[in-house]
Amino acid sequence: MDSAKAQDRSLVNTSLSPYARLKSLNMGDVQWTTGFWAERFKVCKESMVPHMMQNYMNPEISHAYRNFEIAAGIEKGDHAGPAFSDGDFYKMLEGMIMVWSTSRDIKTEREIDTIIETIAKSQRSDGYIHTPVVIKQLQKNSEKKEFGERLDFETYNFGHLMTTACLYYRLTGKKNLLNVAIKATDFLYNFYSRASAELAQNAICPSHYMGVIEMYRTTRDPRYLELAKNLIEIRSLVENGTDDNQDRIPFDEQTEAMGHAVRANYLYAGIADVYAETGNDSLMISLDKIWHNMTENKMYITGACGALYDGVSPDGTSYSPNYIQKVHQAYGRDFQLPNLTAHNESCANIGNILWNWRMFLATGEARFIDVMELTMYNSLLAGVSLDGTGYFYTNPLCVVHDIPFTLRWSREREGYIKFCNCCPPNTIRTIAELSNYVYTTSAKGLWINLYGSNQLRTKLSDGSEIILNQQTDYPWNGKISIILEECPDQIFSVFLRIPGWAESGKILINGKILNIPVRPGTYSEISQKWKKGDIIELILPMEARLIEANPLVEEVHNHVAVKRGPVVYCIESADIPANSLIFDYVVPANTHFKPKTINISDSKMCALEGNVKQIPEESWKGQLYRPVTNKNETFTLRLIPYYAWGNRSKGDMSVWLPVSK
Ligand SMILES: [Zn+2]
């Protein structure tokens, strides 16, 4: 383990990955200073983490930690809650560790280490660690066997343990949690060296591909890489696999995003990690085809994934009812993107970030950061209230409360999602970790991927130190200033990402326009000798734009969404007269929406205002169809960022609005 380079303390450590083009920076190298992400991180640290950790420590609300205590022999009782709650607790611990690492206070560190001690005691001597089974076995219930039930989610739990353990070790050098994860990974290695393909099928929601590879990166134990490769290979041997679990056909024959969207995106992220270590082209060829299918045919305008609550796989091979496969929380058919019933689990949207980050590290292509940025500003942030106390499981693009059917998941955010609290800790750890995605390095220099005020202090690949200050009011303002405070003497490149949404862009060095190509959806490389005090400015246009969808998306024919920079907007009941519906407003195609600064829940943001047509509608009660009326009045409509919806009164919301051309 000590052979790994001591300075490699990054979130996803590709520093020795032979097929990764880029390297992430060490955790802690980037600190948010002011502005958008500094505010979200502060809410994460001061509200999300303490509130949710309090829930996890209260067995009346969450039994997840109590399960560890029972399995450790500290408390008495039965397992309660879902089988995957171990994994969700590890994600919570990961979020707690990440925010703790910015202050490193002793009291919290002791709390973390006490939790780890309990987790370690819940592990069997052979390395197996999974409270639903360990507790039953402690009670001498020999019926309960490891990996016996598909919905036991063991490998999901193992995977999150590995990820959290690697991060804690990299941040502190402490091996208390890492040793637990090493024993667990050894157990999996031994288990899978003799496991059947059917057991691979039981490994649903595969967070462990990412986990096992990160364990390999931490320990350099070649058996772990072998395990990760084996885990993918045995998927191909599964008989009677399902589209829902992405194992009906071998992975390298897959070309479309299919099935349960969290499982799918976690699988794709894990396989991208395996590619970074092995360079197995057939994996990257499939990943790239699936990525194109997802972003061109199946992803929402908010970056959200997984259109369907439940459905039938569109990828079945026969019309025979015996072969029609059910899917749930899943990708649908190409262009099947309903709004009111969109599922879009927060974890699937986070999976989209995890996957695209790994694709980016492997390739250095800006298109992957475009998808990450879109998902961060829209579907990720919509998953949590602005004050950090409530969470969504699903993220629809239209919500109408007065509908004659019940959707399974709440359309109001909840403090703890009793049936399935997988999304809240996932959202918390992701927001806590976003600063790790802002920059990367390659042999040529520094890559600036995302924009938000921060201070960077890091080393380039040759070991030379660079300190810079990024100042911006992005995403509300398109001007970004980067001030070099310390840099090496020799020539190196600064790569600036020009977002794919931008129509143009300007780069200035010390106030002078730089004459190099600025192409949206690529990185502009500036290679020169730099000096302390140099200022790089990037100016991006921040006009509100009306966006239409491919006409094959039936649900939004003749509709537009409004987007400004990476931020998608929506109409919400709180901004229209009480006697009107969100459907009563039609946007003329020439509407010019202007920015207006507002506050919702103590958070400053940029709303948009523009003149639209309001059509006074009679009640639709008892009517499915009727003739069109042609009356309309002009109304100044306010739109708010989609991520901020649901933070005022309980109201209706829609991203898509009818357009008149
Ligand atoms: Zn979830």
The 3-state secondary structure of 305-365, one letter per residue: CCCEEEEECCCCCCCCCCCCCEEEEEECCCCCCCCCCCCCCHHHHHHHHHHHHHHHHHHCC
Q: Residue 423 C-alpha to ligand 1 middle, in angstroms?
A: 3
CA distance 291 to 298: 10
Q: Residue 216 C-alpha to ligand 1 middle, in angstroms?
A: 26
Confidence band, pLDDT 50/70/90 cuts, at residue 132: very high
Low-confidence winner among 131-145, 210-224, 436-450 (lowest mean pLDDT): 131-145
Q: Residue 348 C-alpha to ligand 1 middle, in angstroms?
A: 7
The residues with which 611 forms a beta bridge, in sequence order, are: 636
Confidence band, pLDDT 50/70/90 cuts, at residue 310: confident
Q: Residue 393 C-alpha to ligand 1 middle, in angstroms?
A: 6
Residue 251 reports pLDDT greater than 90: yes
- Tell me the average pLDDT of the chain: 94
Q: Residue 267 C-alpha to ligand 1 middle, in angstroms?
A: 15
Q: Residue 344 C-alpha to ligand 1 middle, in angstroms?
A: 10
Question: Do 156 and 87 touch, CB atoms closer than 8 A?
Answer: yes
Residue 144 reports pLDDT greater than 60: yes
Q: Residue 653 C-alpha to ligand 1 middle, in angstroms?
A: 22
Q: Residue 5 C-alpha to ligand 1 middle, in angstroms?
A: 34
Residue 121 reports pLDDT greater than 60: yes
Q: Residue 422 C-alpha to ligand 1 middle, in angstroms?
A: 4
Mean pLDDT of 96-102: 97
pLDDT digits (tens, 9 = 90+) for 316-358: 555 565 667 788 899 999 999 999 999 999 999 999 999 999 9
pLDDT digits (tens, 9 = 90+) for 196-238: 777 766 677 789 999 999 999 999 999 999 999 998 888 888 8
Q: Residue 350 C-alpha to ligand 1 middle, in angstroms?
A: 9
pLDDT of residue 6: 42
Of 418, 386, 381, 411, nearest to 396 (Cα)? 411
Q: Residue 427 C-alpha to ligand 1 middle, in angstroms?
A: 9
Q: Residue 420 C-alpha to ligand 1 middle, in angstroms?
A: 7
Which residues lie near ion ligand 1 (Cβ < 5 Å)?
345, 347, 422-423
Q: Name which residue leads in pLDDT, 622 or 535.
A: 535
CA distance 652 to 616: 17
Mean pLDDT of 90-113: 97
Residue 657 reports pLDDT greater than 80: yes
Q: Residue 151 C-alpha to ligand 1 middle, in angstroms?
A: 15
